[in-house]
Structure 1
């Protein structure tokens, strides 16, 4: 199961006056009778006029974003299996090649000569074996009539067996010479796109020690991204608590955003999550596979990926401007049963359209104050404004949640 990294919600810099006010509100919320700086009558005298939204728990999709890197689904190093002089390059650098296509030719002349010698050795061994076999056949009836000694018969049988073994060894050397001659044709092991040649014609290639080029299979492509161990554990706890539900099979739909901000037309699915945690980055590697028929995605390219499929259970959507941030974290104001402003600490997650997802701190039916926040303090009396508002005044503009990396 993949436990992907949740998107961090960050809030933009608030105007100086609002920042100072938030600090004062939080500083006073733990004193006295709970009315704090807002006390009866509010901060500016009389109930403050506010606009509210009544929240209800919902099942909402969890959107996760990561910085990722494209990698070919298969990347192989092309190396010669024999030592020799590089005679010819048989491909265009950067071109697509098929599996089995010849990429380089090693000078085959020495290997052809070696195979000829090996074939001659096979012929000689075959002749010796045939002679030993005939000799054993001649002696066999003689031993029955005791015309020859048992030792002579045994020597003939042994000579036949030794000749047969010598023939097998010669055939093996011939097969080896044939393989070496074939390996002078360096082939691509997979279909893909080639990189530049690292050795030019005339170079001495010392077998597998020398890298000649690489071939990358770009369709499909792999998308690699890191999942913070801290966030993985956090989301695991939310799953255990029933606040988060993974997609079936733990596979997420993946959408790629390119470097220019455009969205890649094809989507893919996650297919791997490493159980190991990197000691250098504190993350575990996850991978998705995505179609790349046109080769638009290049190996090594940095992109952003969005994962879809997880669902938040019993979550709340709150307008961005209603969520404030103070020294003790994020909070909202709600209208309590006495029509006073109550400050409520919340856990705010990712965006959902123009709303922020709140996972803890609210309950069904809470009346969250979304406008008129500058006039409030904890315990301040409020009056709910039922007149519709098209937008918040500029002086009351609240910070927007931004997507994290």
Structure 2
């Protein structure tokens, strides 16, 4: 008689289900119980601790900056207009070039003005020719009137003639000066130094004194100004922080850097010149002006820039990478730290402002604390972990592992908090 093992064969009978599904069900129940046993605190304690990347924080002094949008403007600008009527005879500058104050830019036909000047000189000489005679007569009559040798009326008439001749000479001198000035205006000179723009009129054109259309425009590009807008709220916060001693300033001048429209930083730093004393009622902002050297003429009027102003320095603070900070249900900034026992703890941070890709924190951190910057999604407060020292590149937020020999290599950050 052949015996078949019971594990391979289960006789079936009418009204009875097969024993094979029941056997499989028992195996599943046993596996579930084993899994529940492994999920107990004792089982979790026996597992290998999770490795997380940490960054050691140290107190430091941080220079606070404010980035403001702005536009470049010329430090000096002058429209060149004629001050006398006439025909332009020649143009003496190269369009788009540099000119100096006093350079002759245009010449107006001077013949009529030279004739007027010569006529004024002749009138002056005529007035001066009659002056000695009337002067001598007035002096002689002043002596005769003392002896009553002449009448008072004769003396008064001689004196009046002399004074009239004096006035005629003075008027003639003034006319000569006016004619000389008009003759000088036939040479149109640069009022300021700077870069000159295109000429709006050509030789042969008729111009009039103080016409509305300028002949050309001169702009001084070195130095150049940058006008920025700042909110009144940020100014109040800054001044209150300085008054409370939380922010320290050095000197009365504030350094300013420029970030150009293509993302590069302008090589020459500038200085803050002034700020308006009135806040715009519609926008709640006011204008701040900075001055920058522009020897290479890289900056042109009207360019969009972003100015980085150094507000001051704050001491004994910490820079925490933004990737390590989250928000709790109350909206408070929180971060995970690894304490001296190697366990994870959660803290609420007093975040002040952002500095690059980091948060500036003034409280809630002690020197030497280790903040978790990699692997936060795999751990919970109270959990024991292994740590690996990391560093965070502030410019990009990239996490890199610190090697034993002091070099850094890129660490994989895909899918990690």
1:239 — aligned with what? 242
State how far apart, in whole Å, the 2-side matches of 1:259 and 1:111 are.
52
Deviation of the 1:297 alpha carbon: 1.9
Q: How does 1:148-227 map to 2 (within 5 A)?
A: 148-201=150-203, 202-207=205-210, 209-227=212-230
Under a length normalisation based on structure 1, what TM-score does the superposition of the two structures give?
0.75
TM-superposition CA deviations, 1:219-269 (whole Å, max 9, x none): 2222332222221122222222322222321421x3333333333333333
For 1:356, which of 348, 355, 358 is the aligned residue?
358
* Residues 316-351 of structure 1: per-residue CA shift (max 9 Å, x gap): 111231022577656122449895643515425233
CA distance in structure 1 between the partners assigned to 2:226 and 2:359 by the alignment? 27
Distance change >3 Å, CA 282–CA 327, structure 1 → 2: farther
Question: Residue in 2 aligned with 1:385?
Answer: 386
Structure showing greater relative contact order (alpha-carbon pairs closer than 8 Å, 6 or more residues apart)? 1
- The Cα RMSD (Å) is 3.2
Bigger radius of gyration: 2
Q: Answer yes or no: is the 8 Å Cα contact 2:75–2:220 preserved in 1.
A: yes
Aligned to 1:127: 129
Counterpart position of 2:5: none
Paired positions, count:
351
Of 290, 297, 303, the residue aligned with 1:295 is: 297
Q: Normalising by the residue count of structure 2, what TM-score does the alignment of the two structures yield?
A: 0.73
Match in the other structure for 1:73: 75
Identify unmatched segments of 5+ residues in structure 1: 1-39, 398-405
Partner SS for 2:360:
strand
Change (3 A) 1:309 1:235: closer
Conserved in 2, the CA contact under 8 Å of 1:221 and 1:289? yes
The answer to whether the Cα contact below 8 Å between 2:229 and 2:286 also exists between their aligned partners in 1 is yes
Return the match for 1:347 from 347, 351, 354.
351
Give the C-alpha shift of residue 292 in structure 1. Answer: 1.9
Q: Partners of 1:368 and 1:226 in 2: how far apart? A: 37
Q: 1:54 to 1:116 in 2, by over 3 A?
A: same
Q: Tell me, what secondary structure is at the counterpart of 1:248?
A: coil
How do 1:3-402 and structure 2 match up within 5 A? 50-201=52-203, 202-207=205-210, 209-252=212-255, 254-279=256-281, 281-308=283-310, 310-325=312-327, 329=331, 331-335=333-337, 341-352=345-356, 356-365=358-367, 367-375=370-378, 380-388=381-389, 390=401, 391=411, 393-397=413-417
Residue 75 of structure 2 aligns to a residue whose secondary structure is strand
Counterpart of 1:386 in 2: which secondary structure?
Answer: strand
The whole-number CA distance in structure 2 between the counterparts of 1:93 and 1:76 is: 15
Could you say which residue in structure 2 is the equivalent of 1:25?
A: none
1:168 is displaced (CA, Å) by: 0.7
Indicate conservation of the 8 Å contact 2:257/2:308, yes or no. yes
**Rounded Cα–Cα distance in structure 2 between residues aligned with 1:296 and 1:335:** 48
Mapped to 2, the partners of 1:69 and 1:162 lie a distance apart of: 62
Once residues 333 and 350 of structure 1 are traced to their aligned partners in structure 2, the CA distance between those partners, rounded to angstroms, is: 15
Answer whether contact 1:63 1:350 (CA < 8 A) is retained: no
List runs of 5+ in structure 2 lacking aligned partners: 1-39, 391-400, 402-410
Residue number in structure 1 paired with 2:408: none
Q: Extract structure 1 runs of 4+ deviating beyond 6 A.
A: 44-49
CA distance in structure 1 between the partners assigned to 2:75 and 2:129 by the alignment: 53
The alpha carbon displacement at 1:393 in A equals: 4.1
Instruction: Find the aligned partners of 1:91 and 1:284 in 2 and give their Cα distance.
Output: 40
Counterpart Cα distance in 1 of 2:119 and 2:329: 86
